[in-house]
């Protein structure tokens, strides 16, 4: 679909007002407007597709530079992705085949499956795949055992960790990701017990039980996901939150 195709859709005045707000309001309001546009049917979809096309140059620039994750563009993509409308599917395949987050990898790992799980808000499956990808980064021994030693964390590629983190950030509206957990950890003075409670990994003296005790949706506390093998001790997540990726 081209810009002329989206322009050819008759846009009611109410949708045009939403379009203006999507372009001009603060991020928090923009995120709410996206859902309103989806509810407007074809006219709303046309506005969202045009918005993504307008933002494409900025998104392309991200592929060669480290810039803040654009959660509005990611939610627009996500909303379109989950409509399954034929014209939207064609548009996304042509212009955004891998989403809005650059899938950079120092080791040529494929992050498209993770991107698609997160776009569909399938957080439990995305969490399992995240652990798998971390093991792949750590090497064949970690892949075989299906978890990583804290001593393997430092050697993990910063580029890959940033990609994984950016995907979680983008498709959670900034609620989930390693960087969010790090921010919370610093916010409680690096006190692990306070962190576990704050992100919902522990209640009182009781650890949250995997998997049913965790909240696999955006209703979870900020920083709730992704998980790490914290039950093996604090050293894995400590090494992860101190990784050079968050200082670059």
Q: What would the pLDDT profile of 115-130 be if each residue is shown by its tens digit?
A: 999 999 999 999 999 9
Q: Is 200 exposed, middle or buried (0-12, 13-18, 19+ CB in 10 A)?
A: middle
**Greater pLDDT, 60 or 177:** 177
Q: What is residue 11's predicted lDDT score, i.e. its pLDDT? A: 85
Residue 57 reports pLDDT greater than 70: yes
Which two tokens mark 200?
A: 């919902």
* Residue 21 near residue 29, CB atoms below 8 Å: yes
* pLDDT single digits (tens) 149-162: 999 999 999 999 99
Sign of CA dihedral 183, 184, 186, 192: negative
pLDDT band at residue 63 under the 50/70/90 scheme: low
| Average confidence (pLDDT) over 40-56 | 95
Per-residue confidence (pLDDT) for residue 6, from 0 to 100: 46
Q: Could you give the angle at which helices 42-61 and 86-95 cross, rounded to 10 degrees?
A: 10
Q: What confidence tier does 67 reach under pLDDT thresholds 50, 70, 90?
A: low
Q: How far apart are CA 30 and CA 36, in angstroms?
A: 10
Bigger pLDDT: 60 vs 244 = 244
pTM, entire model: 0.92
- Of 12, 72, 3, 74, which is closest to residue 41 (Cα–Cα)? 12
**Domains along the chain with CATH numbers:** 3-95 (1.25.40.620), 120-247 (1.10.10.1770)
| Backbone region of residue 171 per phi and psi (left: phi > 0; alpha: psi in -120 to 50; beta: other values) | alpha
CB 192 within 8 A of CB 127: no
Query: How many Å apart are CA 26 and CA 16, to the nearest integer?
Result: 17
Orientation of helix 27-38 relative to helix 13-24, angle to 10°? 150
Whole-number mean pLDDT of the chain?
91
Distance of alpha carbon 94 from alpha carbon 179, whole angstroms: 31
CA Rg value for the chain = 19
pLDDT digits (tens, 9 = 90+) for 16-32: 999 999 999 999 999 99
| Distance between CA atoms of residues 217 and 221, nearest Å | 10
**pLDDT grade for 62, boundaries at 50, 70 and 90:** low
Tell me how long the chain is: 248
**Model confidence over 193-244: pLDDT tens digits?**
999 999 999 999 999 999 999 999 999 999 999 998 665 679 999 999 999 9
Q: Are 133 and 104 in contact (CB under 8 A)?
A: no
How many Å apart are CA 43 and CA 229, to the nearest integer? Answer: 46
Residue 108 falls in which region: left (phi positive, over 0), alpha (psi -120 to 50) or beta = left
Per-residue pLDDT, 3: 44
Say if CB 180 and CB 223 are below 8 A apart: yes
Q: Which residues contact 132 (CB under 8 A, 6 or more apart)?
A: 143, 146
């Amino acid at each position: 679909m081209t810009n002329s195709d989206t322009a050819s859709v008759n846009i009611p005045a109410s949708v045009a007002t939403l379009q203006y707000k999507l372009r001009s309001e603060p991020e928090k309001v923009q995120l709410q407007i996206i859902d309103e546009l989806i509810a407007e049917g074809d006219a709303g979809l046309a506005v969202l597709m045009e918005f993504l096309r307008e933002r494409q140059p900025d998104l392309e620039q991200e592929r060669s530079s480290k810039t803040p994750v654009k959660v509005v563009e990611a939610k627009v993509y996500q909303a379109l992705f989950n409509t399954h409308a034929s014209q939207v599917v064609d548009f996304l395949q042509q212009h955004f085949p891998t989403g809005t987050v650059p899938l950079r990898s120092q080791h040529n790992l494929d992050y498209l499956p993770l991107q698609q799980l997160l776009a569909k808000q399938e957080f439990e499956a995305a969490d399992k795949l995240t652990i798998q990808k971390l093991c792949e980064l750590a090497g064949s021994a970690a892949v075989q055992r299906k978890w990583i030693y804290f001593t393997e964390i430092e050697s993990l590629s910063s580029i890959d960790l940033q990609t994984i983190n950016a995907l979680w950030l983008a498709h959670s509206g900034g609620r989930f990701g390693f960087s969010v957990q790090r921010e919370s950890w610093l916010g409680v003075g690096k006190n692990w017990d306070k962190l576990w409670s704050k992100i919902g990994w522990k209640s009182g003296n009781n650890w949250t039980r995997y998997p049913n005790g965790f909240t696999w949706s955006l209703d979870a506390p900020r920083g709730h996901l992704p998980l790490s093998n914290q039950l093996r001790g604090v050293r894995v997540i400590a090494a992860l939150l101190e990784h050079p990726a968050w200082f670059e």
